[in-house]
Chains A and B, each alone.
Chain A
Amino acid sequence: MGEVAHLINGLRKHDPRAIGRAISIVEDSGESAEILLSSLDESLIEQTLVLGITGPPGAGKSTLTSRIISHLRKQGIRLGVIAIDPSSPISGGAILGDRIRMMRHALDQDVVVRSMAARGRLGGLCSAAGGVVRVMANGGCSTIIIETVGVGQSEMDIVRLADITAMVLAPGLGDDIQAMKAGLLEVADLLVVNKADRPGAEMLAMDMEAMIRNRKSSHETPVCRTVATEGTGVSDLVAAIGSIDQQHRASGEHQYRRKKSFQLEVIDRALEIIRPELFSTLKNLDGKHELDPGRTARRLVKMLLLK
């Protein structure tokens, strides 16, 4: 396929149009997507740092992302940003607005921003995110930031995909944070208490630190305080991310996560492939339904494997 070759060439040259087009192809999945993804340079993908930024709606994820971008740009790093917003469950459409907060980088060709709709996927990511990371890596981005949908609960797919996940919290978001607390420490590599200029921020930060102390664990989760609107605390945050990355790469954690992430994605994909098969096999089973879904499922899988 000529087009894919053309796009791969464009990626190599950091051509914005080619990168944009390639991402769309990946997003729409299908045959060209597979050809494209399998033609990518794996070594580029291995070198990138994938940073996940997650947290409740309005915590300041986009504002903070924009600040982190400024920081990394000063170090000459070319980077990608994937900003995900929810899709309307009714129309399937979406308004993608995270970019508004990142527009200061709009004319910087070394900041590749892509807004994406979750397209029905729960957990804060979109299905294509993994593929888009690979495309961006091949488009020369050595750091890729993923801003998830503002998630209120604990389903956080991002930890599967990202090398490092920062959880952004802010005072005044009330119950959301209370509900999240429990799961937080398990998933995030780093806690960020943003809006440190607001009343209640220090309380929240100390609360988090106390929770970390109480937890018996080998590694400790740093708590960073930031004022994203002013840029305060961002250099410390970036430094903390850098040191976690170094640790992870030295200890093998990085490689382990990548491998696990790869496996999980393969499984996901496999399930997607099998899903229609399951449905049609289930139809063949019709009439012979048993009351217990668990048992039916086992029979179904057995039949499928026999096929």
Chain B
Amino acid sequence: MSKHSSFAKWQENELRKSISRFPERKNFTNHGGDEIPRLAVPAEIDDAYLENLGFPGQYPFTRGVQPTMYRGRLWTMRQYAGFSTAAESNRRYRYLLDQGNTGLSIAFDLPTQIGYDSDDPMSRGEVGKVGVAIDSLADIEVLFDRIPLERVSTSMTINSPAIVLLAMYVVAAEKQGVSAEQLKGTIQNDILKEYVARGTYIFPPQPSLRLITNTFQWCSRNMPVFNTISISGYHIREAGSTAVQEVAFTLANGITYVQAAIDAGLELDVFARRLAFFFNCSSDFLEEIAKFRAARRLWARIMKERFGTGKPASQMMRFHTQTAGNTLAAQQIDNNIVRVTVQALAAVLGGTQSLHTNSKDEALSLPTEESVRTALRTQQIIAHESGVANTVDPLAGSYYIEQLTDRIEQQASELIKKIEDAGGVVACIEEGFIQRQIENSAYEFQLEIERGERVIVGVNQFQVEEKSRTPVLRVDPAVEQEQVKRLAQLRKNRDNISVGHALENLERAARSDENLMEPVLDCVRKYATIGETCNVLRQVFGVYKERK
């Protein structure tokens, strides 16, 4: 095919359609007035180009998921954060929205993430520590009080009890007069990476997968624009994996979810477009850029070749990115701003849809407001000053980048094959294969630092004497007592008989193969707590224990 015909076809179809729906933000010119090309392409477009790169917004999406990428709309700058109590967080979210933010990203405390109530003995000392504490619908009502849920897009980092929090969100919206149909946002809902990297699992893999397909199914009928899962490599990488392992394990998890949904009788092209991904961006600048491109291409090929979908919306991998917290040092913390800049730049050059930039005090405590601002400013500088957002996939065609993209795709797909040959992701988690791979990579990496083979500026070279450290953010311990008191009130004031009925009904449904979303919605409406709800499921499903 000649350059002319395929390029022209793309311009006439994908590009024109995209621009008519989302006009570009402005005319892009440099200082001097020269127009900046939207998309640079090779002088001669051959089959290999079309097969491996293609045009942005077109299979295999190597060059990005939208034809105009950031010229149409910048990536979403979404900072993940949580704040002690629902009331405190609500104040904070409303402030952010007043400032023009359109996306919220909610961090929950550990008891909530593991399905314990704030008054559970296991929760002692952890309530509201690393995120907001949610015990029941009452807290969610406070959390979203006076926040127009039909307009904001909400991202919730919740996994094993995701179905419960999703139900709470739906009911809170309902009470505001907002229907589920209108709700926008993402729920992480990715249990498989919890077993290998993140640690907030509750139930064993099989029933957990069922909860996930139950939410897929319910959402495809009732929440058509809500992302029902965020398949996450971020945590896998933070736990110490390599870039290739990050891609392979994440996509293997993705395959597992898609297969589970198909097996549950769901329609591929209905749920596949609601899958979102979440990656890490670490310090190896060029490798990271290639990684994103490789991941996009590999996923598109998997969706097309393995699952047989021809729909672009089902093939394209949209993802959120976060810079790599584990690369940020406790020593000379201003250096972290530079690290985050390099990483954020790679994420943008790799074509991310949204981005969280870590704060310079990452290794000391939860970030202070000031350091969060600097992190956000870093993104804004990249967006508005660096010029990299003015043209699409600018590094395509670099011999090195393309080679690296090919290599990562190939190595990742080999690793995926290995997992499948060994019985698939669930079997490999039970056997410990994935955990061991990650641990080995993490151990080697750390030993390289210890031996000085890998230089970390300010840590194992170029050190200075530092005096006392910067002030750190602390959560008031009174938050816990306050929350426990609120919960005691709730247990006293609600209709406990109907709570009991709702929980019994949930137990019955859990023992059958019914979709659990409705029974959970019912529990939530009756103000059953997250602990009570999860305990019913623990009874039926059992609990998972980590592999040694």
State if A and B touch, Cβ cutoff 8 Å. yes
Q: Is the CB of A101 within 8 A of B545?
A: yes
Q: B548 touching A98 by the CB < 8 A rule?
A: yes
Q: In this assembly, does A120 line the interface, its C-beta being within 8 Å of a C-beta of chain B?
A: no
Interface size, B (range): 10 to 19
B185 within 8 A of A: no
Q: Is B542 a contact of A230 with CB atoms below 8 Å?
A: yes
A22 CB to nearest B CB, Å:
26
Q: Give the CA-CA distance A54 to B519 in the complex, in Å.
A: 43
Q: With the chains together, A120 CA to B229 CA distance in Å?
A: 48
Contact indicator A229/B432 (Cβ below 8 Å): no
Assess whether A100 is in contact with B432, with CB atoms less than 8 Å apart. no
Q: Is the interface of B mostly helix, strand, loop or mixed?
A: loop
| Residue among B431, B542, B546, B548 making CB contact with A229, cutoff 8 Å | B542
Whether A58 touches B542, Cβ cut-off 8 Å, given contacts A98-B548, A172-B423, A229-B204, is no
Q: Nearest A residue to B426 by beta-carbon distance?
A: A198
Interface bits A145-182 vs B (CB < 8 Å: 1, else 0)? 00000000000000000000000000010000000000
A195-238: CB near B (< 8 Å → 1, else 0) gives 00010000000000000000000000000000001100000000
B542 and A100 within 8 A (CB):
no
B391-431 CB contacts (< 8 Å) to partner A? 423, 427, 430-431
Give 1 or 0 for each of B508-548: 1 = CB within 8 Å of chain A CB: 00000000000000000000000000000000001001101
C-alpha spacing A101/B544, complex, angstroms: 10
Of residues 50 through 76 on chain B, the ones whose CB sits less than 8 Å from some CB of chain A are: none
Count A-B contacts at CB 8 Å. Answer: 21
Encode A66-110 as 1/0 by CB contact (under 8 A) with B.
000000000000000000000000000001011011010000000
B423 contacts across to A, CB distance below 8 A = 172
Distance in Å: Cβ of A194 to nearest Cβ of chain B:
11
Whether the Cβ atoms of A58 and B204 lie closer than 8 Å is: no
Within the complex, the shortest CB–CB distance from B492 to chain A, in Å, comes to 31
Are A101 and B548 in touch, CB under 8 angstroms? yes
> Once the chains are docked, how many angstroms separate the CA of A63 from the CA of B204?
13
Please tell me if the beta carbons of B542 and A97 are within 8 angstroms of each other in the complex: no
- The distance in angstroms between the C-alpha atoms of A131 and B431, with both chains bound, is 32
Q: Which residue of A lies closest to B422 (CB)?
A: A172
Chain A residues in 8 Å Cβ range of B432: 58
Give A230's nearest chain B residue, CB to CB: B542
CA distance in complex: A103, B431 (Å): 19
Q: Which residue of A lies closest to B206 (CB)?
A: A197
Structural contact, A100 and B548, CB atoms closer than 8 A = yes
- With A and B bound together, what is the CA distance between A98 and B427 in angstroms? 19
Contact (Cβ within 8 A) A172 B427? yes
Residue from the list B204, B431, B548 in contact with A97, Cβ < 8 A: B548
Taking a contact as CB atoms closer than 8 A, the residue among B431, B545, B546 that contacts A58 in the complex is: B431
Docked complex Cα distance between A58 and B432 (Å)? 8
Residues on the B chain within 8 Å of A101, using CB: 545, 548
Distance between B520 CB and nearest chain A CB, rounded to angstroms: 23
Q: Which residues of A contact B542 (CB under 8 A)?
A: 229-230
Residue ID in chain A nearest B433 by CB atoms? A58
Closest to A66 in B: B545
Contact for B545 among A100, A172, A198, A230, CB less than 8 A: A100
Interface hits, B122-178 → A, CB 8 Å: none
Chain A residues whose C-beta falls within 8 Å of the C-beta of B545 in the assembled complex:
63, 100-101, 103
CB distance from B41 to the nearest CB of A (A): 49
**Beta-carbon contact of A100 and B431 below 8 Å:** no
Scan B280-294; emit 1 where CB is below 8 A from any A CB, else 0: 000000000000000
* Complexed CA–CA distance, A98 and B546 (Å): 11
- Give the distance to chain A from B181, nearest Cβ to Cβ, in Å: 38
Chain A minimum-CB-distance residue to B541: A230
Least distance between A227 CB and chain B CB atoms (Å) = 10
Residue of B nearest to A60 (CB): B430
A97 partner residues in chain B, CB cutoff 8 A? 548
Instruction: Please judge, given known A-B contacts A58-B432, A229-B204, whether A100 and B546 are in contact too, CB under 8 Å.
Output: yes
Give the residues in chain B near A198, CB-CB below 8 Å: 427
Q: Which residues in B have their C-beta under 8 angstroms from that of A230? A: 542
Neighbouring B residues of A100 by C-beta, 8 Å = 545-546, 548
Assembled-state Cα–Cα distance A98/B423 (Å) = 24
CA distance A62 to B430 in the complex (A): 13
Q: How far is the CB of A105 from chain B (nearest CB, A)?
A: 12
- A233 CB, nearest partner CB in chain B, Å: 15
A230 vs B207: C-alpha distance in the bound complex, in angstroms? Answer: 12
Interface centre among B432, B545, B546 (most CB of A within 10 A): B545
Set of chain A residues within 8 Å of B431, measured between Cβ atoms: 58, 172
A94 → chain B closest CB, angstroms: 12
User: Given the complex of chains A and B, what is the CA–CA distance between A230 and B205 in angstroms?
Assistant: 13
A97 to B204, CA, bound (A): 19
Q: Which residues of A contact B430 (CB under 8 A)?
A: 58
Chain B residues with Cβ below 8 Å from A63 are 545
Residue of B nearest to A85 (CB): B548
| Least Cβ–Cβ distance between A50 and chain B, in angstroms | 24
With a 10 A CB-CB cut-off, give which of A62, A97, A103, A229 has the most chain B CB atoms. Answer: A229
Q: Write the residues of chain B forming the contact surface with A, with a CB cutoff of 8 angstroms.
A: 204, 423, 427, 430-432, 542, 545-546, 548
Given contacts A58-B430, A100-B546, A230-B542, 6 further A-B contacts (CB under 8 A): A58-B431, A58-B432, A95-B548, A97-B548, A101-B545, A103-B545
Q: Supply 21 A–B pairs (Cβ within 8 Å), ascending by A.
A: A58-B430, A58-B431, A58-B432, A62-B548, A63-B545, A95-B548, A97-B548, A98-B548, A100-B545, A100-B546, A100-B548, A101-B545, A101-B548, A103-B545, A172-B423, A172-B427, A172-B431, A198-B427, A229-B204, A229-B542, A230-B542
Please report A residues at the B interface, Cβ cutoff 8 Å.
58, 62-63, 95, 97-98, 100-101, 103, 172, 198, 229-230
Instruction: Name the 6 nearest CB pairs between A and B, nearest first.
Output: A97-B548, A100-B548, A58-B431, A172-B423, A101-B545, A230-B542
